[in-house]
Amino acid sequence: MIRIATPEDIPVLHALVLELAAYEKALDEVVASEAQLAQALFGDRPAAYAHVATADDDGEVIGFALWFLNFSTWRGVHGIYLEDLYVRPERRGGGHGKALLTELARICVERGYERLEWSVLDWNAPSIAFYESLGARPQDEWTVYRLTDSALAGLGGAKP
């Protein structure tokens, strides 16, 4: 079952974020707290949205999709950027990941959004195969750039 996350899901969402970071070999990079996640999802001006996948037998939250709106100047409409998609390893293969992506695609179609995009680590062959089985295609001509930490502070603090 897929449903919209609620404030009561924050502890398990945070735990799943930590599990995802460990899977991606980047657990030491996670600094986000439960409070920050709650503010981002349920504060006065939500910056992100989340759906959860629950187990059929007991309703336990076993996966999530965390996303936000982006905008295409070329298409002139919003799209969804999927920041994280994660299903606990012992629950994979049950259709939960596909159900989460299906829900986001449904939202796109319903709202007139023309893109559903995300990034995947190039070594994550199982996820790449899964995404391609759904019809997703890599955008090989683009390279992602990122400013963080001192580089971001330096640029942001620079005087014109």
Catalytic residue ranges: 131
**Paired strand residues for 72:** 77
The type of residue at 38 is A
The whole-angstrom separation of Cα 92 and Cα 32 is: 25
Nearest to 17 by CA among 42, 1, 37: 37
The type of residue at 56 is D
